[in-house]
Structure 1
Amino acid sequence: MLASLRSIVHEVNSARSLAEVLDIIVQQVREAMQAGVCSVYLFDDSDQRYVLMATQGLRPESVGKVRLAPREGLVGLVAAREEPLNLENADQHPSFAFFEETGERRFHSFLGAPIIHHRKVLGVLVLQQETQRRFHAEEEAFVVTVCAQLSGAIAHAEATGALRELAQRGRGRSRETAFSGIPSAPGIGIGRVVLATQEGNLGSVPERYSDDSSAELLRLQRALDAAKKDMRKLGRGLEAKLSSEELGLFEVYIRLLDDRALIGEVEQAITAGQTAQSGWASVMQRHVRTFRKMDDPYLRDRAADINDLGRRVLGYLQRDRRETVPLPRRIVLVGEELSAATLADIPVARLAGMVSVRGSSNSHMAIIGRALGIPTVMGAVDLPWPELDGHELIVDGFRGDVITQPSRAVRRTYVGRQREEKLLAQDLAKLSGHPCVTLDGQRLALWVNTGLRQESRLSQKVGAEAVGLYRTEIPFFARNSFPTEDEQVATYRQQLRDFAPRPVTMRTLDIGGDKALPYFPIEEANPFLGWRGIRISLDHPDIFLTQIRAMLRASVGLDNLRILLPMISNVPELEQALALIDRAYNELTAEEGYRLVPPKIGAMIEVPAAVYQVRDIGRRVDFLSVGTNDLTQYLLAVDRNNPRVASLYHTMHPAVLRALQTIREKASSVGCELSVCGELAGDPLGAVLLLGLGYTNLSMSASSLLRVKSMLSQVSQEEARALVKRAMRLSDAEQVRELFIRRLDRPQLTKLYRPLLNL
Structure 2
Amino acid sequence: MTGKNDKTSAWGGSRRLLKLLRDQMKGKSTNQERLAQTVNLIARDMNAEVCSIYVMRRGEYLELAATMGLKPEAVYQTRLHKGEGIVGQCAALALPMAVSDAPRHPNFAYRPETGEEPYQSMLGVPILRSGRVLGVIAVQNVTHRHYDEEEVEALETIAMVLAELIAGGALSVSALEAESSKEELEKPDRIKGLCLNEGMGIGEAVFHNRGIVINRIIADDIDEEVERLEKTVKEMRSSIDEMLTRTDIAAMGEQREVLETYRMFAEDRGWVGKITEAIRVGGMTAEAAVQKIQNETRSRMSKISDPYLRERLADLDDLANRLLHHLLDLDEDKPELPDEFVLLARTLGPAELLDYDWDRLKGVILEEGSPTAHVALVAQALELPIIGRCRDVLTRVREGDMVVLDASHDQVFVRPKDDVLRTLRTSVKDKKLRWEEVSAAKELAPVSLDNQRISLNVNVGLLMDLPHMHAAGADGVGLYRTEVPFMVRKSLPDVSEQTELYRKAMDRAEGKPVVFRTLDVGGDKVLPYWSSIAEENPAMGWRAIRIGLDRPALLRQQLRALIRACAGRQLDVMFPMISETAEFKAARALLDRELEREKTIGGTLPEKIRVGAMLEVPALIWQLIPLCKEVDFLSVGSNDLLQFVFATDRGNTRLARRYDALSPGVLKMMRNIAETTHKAGVDLSLCGDMAGQPIEAMALIGCGFKSLSMPAQQVPDAKKMVRSLNVDSIKEFITGLLEKPDHSVRSELENYAKTANVVI
* TM-score, scaled relative to structure 1: 0.64
1:554 Cα deviation (Å)?
0.8
Q: What is the deviation of 1:348?
A: 3.8
Q: Counterpart amino acid of 1:414?
A: L
> Hey, what's the Cα distance between the residues in 2 that align with 1:484 and 1:501?
26
Does 2:185 correspond to 1:190? no
Maintained 8 Å contact 2:63/2:80: no
Counterpart check, 1:452 vs 2:447 = no
Q: Is the 8 A contact 1:336 1:357 kept in 2?
A: yes
The answer to whether structure 1 residue 416 and structure 2 residue 431 are counterparts is no
Shift of 1:362: 5.7
Q: Which residue of 1 aligns with 2:747?
A: 738
Equivalent of residue 57 in structure 2, options 14, 17, 21: 17
Shift of 1:441: 1.9
1:375 maps to which of 380, 385, 393: 385
Offset from partner CA, 1:403-458 (integer Å, 9 cap, x none): 34545444333222211111211222243112212122222111111223332111
1:692 matched to 2:732: no
One-letter code of the match for 2:562?
Answer: M
SS of equivalent residue, structure 2 residue 474:
coil
Aligned residues of 1:38 and 1:126 also touching (Cα < 8 A):
no
Aligned to 1:395: 405
CA distance in structure 2 between the partners assigned to 1:703 and 1:252 by the alignment: 53
Which residue, out of 569, 591, 611, partners 1:601?
A: 611
In the other structure, the counterpart of 2:563 is 552
CA distance in 2: counterparts of 1:419 and 1:542, whole angstroms: 52
Shift of 1:500: 3.7
1:476 aligns to 2:516 (yes or no): no
Instruction: After TM superposition, give the deviation of residue 317 of structure 1 in Å.
Output: 8.4
> Which of the residues 490, 502, 520 maps onto 1:492?
502
Partner of 2:224: 229
Tell me the distance in 2 between the aligned counterparts of 1:629 and 1:716: 27
Q: CA deviation at 1:642?
A: 1.0
- Of 215, 224, 239, which residue of structure 2 is paired with 1:220? 215
Aligned counterparts of 1:176 and 1:660: Cα–Cα separation in 2: 42
**Pairs within 5 Å for 1:99-178:** 166=178, 168=180, 174-178=186-190
Is residue 476–residue 509 contact of structure 2 (8 Å, CA) maintained in 1? yes
In structure 2, relative to structure 1, the CA distance for the partners of 1:547 and 1:441 (3 Å cut) is same
**In 2, Cα distance between equivalents of 1:671 and 1:20:** 58
Q: 1:192 to 1:323 in 2, by over 3 A?
A: farther
1:507–1:172 distance in 2 versus 1, CA, 3 Å = closer
Structure 1 residues 392 and 224: CA distance shift in structure 2, 3 A: farther
Question: 1:708 is matched by which residue type in structure 2?
Answer: A
Asked if the contact 1:335/1:385 (under 8 Å) is kept, the reply is no
Distance in 2 (alpha carbons) for counterparts of 1:654 and 1:717: 19
Please say if residues 577 and 616 of structure 2, whose CA atoms lie closer than 8 Å, have aligned partners that are also in contact: yes
Q: Distance in 2 between matches of 1:723 and 1:227?
A: 76
Specify whether residues 414 and 234 from structure 1 end up closer, same or farther in structure 2 by C-alpha distance, changes over 3 A only: closer
Contact 1:507-1:565 at 8 Å conserved across structures: yes
Q: What is the CA distance between 1:569 and its match in structure 2?
A: 0.7
How is 1:553-632 mapped onto 2 (pairs within 5 angstroms)? 553-557=564-568, 559-632=569-642
Q: 1:527 to 1:173 in 2, by over 3 A?
A: closer
CA contact (8 A) 1:227 1:313 kept: no
Distance of aligned partners of 1:313 and 1:476 in 2 relative to their CA distance in 1, 3 Å threshold? closer
CA drift at 1:380? 2.5
Question: Are residues 485 and 252 of structure 1, via their aligned partners in 2, closer, same or farther at CA, if it must alter by over 3 Å?
Answer: closer
Q: Which residue number corresponds to residue 678 of structure 2?
A: 668
Deviations 1:137-188 (A, max 9, x none): xxxxxxxxxxxxxxxx9xxxxxxxx9xx848257586254321112232221
- Cα gap change, 1:747/1:223 in structure 2, threshold over 3 Å: closer, same or farther? farther
1:21, distance to aligned residue in structure 2 (A): 2.9
- Name the counterpart of 1:134: none
Q: Secondary structure at the match of 1:641?
A: coil
Is residue 719 of structure 2 the alignment partner of residue 718 of structure 1? no
Does residue 538 in structure 1 map to residue 523 in structure 2? no
**Contact 2:222–2:280 (CA under 8 A) maintained in structure 1:** no
Is it true that 1:324 corresponds to 2:333 in the alignment? Answer: yes
- Say if 1:605 and 1:14 are closer, same or farther in 2 by CA, change over 3 A: farther
From 539, 562, 567, the equivalent of 1:528 is 539
Q: Deviations over 1:194-232 (max 9, x none)?
A: 5567x9xxxxx99xxxxxxxxx8xx83699789883246
Aligned residues of 2:64 and 2:79 also touching (Cα < 8 A): no
Counting aligned pairs with the same residue, the percent is: 30
Aligned equivalents of 2:505, 2:362: Cα separation in 1: 28
Could you tell me which residue of structure 1 aligns to residue 235 of structure 2? Answer: none
CA distance in 2, matches of 1:171, 1:502: 57
Cα pair distance change 1:312/1:534, threshold 3 Å? closer
Contact 2:63 2:78 in 1 (8 A): no
Residue identity opposite 2:195 in structure 1: P
CA RMSD of aligned residues (A): 4.6
SS at match of 1:229: helix
Structure 2 CA distance, aligned partners of 1:195 and 1:745?
41
- After superposition, the Cα gap between the structure-2 partners of 1:652 and 1:590, relative to the gap in structure 1 and judged at 3 Å, is same
* Superimposed CA distance per residue, residues 279-302 of structure 1 (whole angstroms, 9 cap, x where no aligned partner): x999x99xxx9xxxxxxxxxxxxx
Work out whether residues 36 and 127 of structure 1, in 8 Å CA contact, stay in contact via their aligned partners in 2.
no
Cα separation, 1, equivalents of 2:216 and 2:279:
19
CA contact (8 A) 1:223 1:316 kept: no
| Corresponding letter in the other structure for 1:315 | L
Do the aligned partners of 2:479 and 2:516 also contact (CA within 8 Å) in 1? yes
> Counterparts of 1:705 and 1:332 in 2: how far apart (Å)?
26
Q: Give 1:475 shift.
A: 1.9
Alpha carbons 1:355, 1:395 under 8 Å: kept: yes
Aligned to 2:156: none
Given candidates 158, 180, 205, the residue that maps to 2:192 is 180
Contact 1:502–1:560, Cα closer than 8 Å, also in 2? no
Q: TM-score, normalization: structure 2?
A: 0.64
CA distance in 2, matches of 1:21, 1:464: 51
Is the CA contact (8 Å cut-off) linking 1:563 and 1:602 kept in structure 2?
Answer: yes
In structure 2, the CA distance between the partners of 1:505 and 1:253, relative to structure 1 (3 Å rule), is same
The verdict on how the C-alpha distance between 1:475 and 1:409 changes in structure 2, with shifts beyond 3 A counting, is same
SS in 2 for 1:23: strand
Query: How many residues in Structure 1 have an aligned counterpart in Structure 2?
Result: 559
Q: CA deviation at 1:355?
A: 2.8
Q: Provide, for residues 108-132 of structure 1, a one-character-per-residue CA deviation record: whole Å limited to 9, x for no partner.
A: xxxxxxxxxxxxxxxxx998899xx
Judged with a 3 Å threshold, the aligned counterparts in structure 2 of structure 1 residues 739 and 360 are, in CA distance, closer, same or farther, namely farther
Query: Structure 2 vs 1, CA of residues 383 and 668 (structure 1 numbering), >3 Å: closer, same or farther?
Result: same
Give a deviation string over 1:643-669, Cα, whole Å, max 9, x none. 122122422133322221221122123
Does the 8 A contact of 2:205 with 2:397 survive in 1? no
**8 Å contact 1:570–1:609 — kept in the other structure?**
yes
* Letter aligned with residue 585 of structure 2: E
Whichever residue aligns with residue 225 of structure 2, its letter is D
Determine whether 1:641 maps to 2:651: yes
Name the amino acid aligned to 2:63.
D
Deviations 1:594-633 (A, max 9, x none): 2433410000001111111112222111000001111111
1:352 and 1:170 map into 2 onto residues whose CA distance is 27
CA distance in 2: counterparts of 1:389 and 1:553, whole angstroms: 54
Counterpart code for 1:569: S
Q: Which runs of 5+ in 2 are unaligned?
A: 1-50, 82-108, 115-132, 134-173, 232-274, 300-316
3-state SS of the aligned residue for 2:657?
Answer: helix
Cα pair distance change 1:534/1:247, threshold 3 Å: closer
Residues 501, 560 of structure 1: 8 Å contact kept = no
Distance (Å, rounded) in 2 between the aligned partners of 1:227 and 1:614: 68
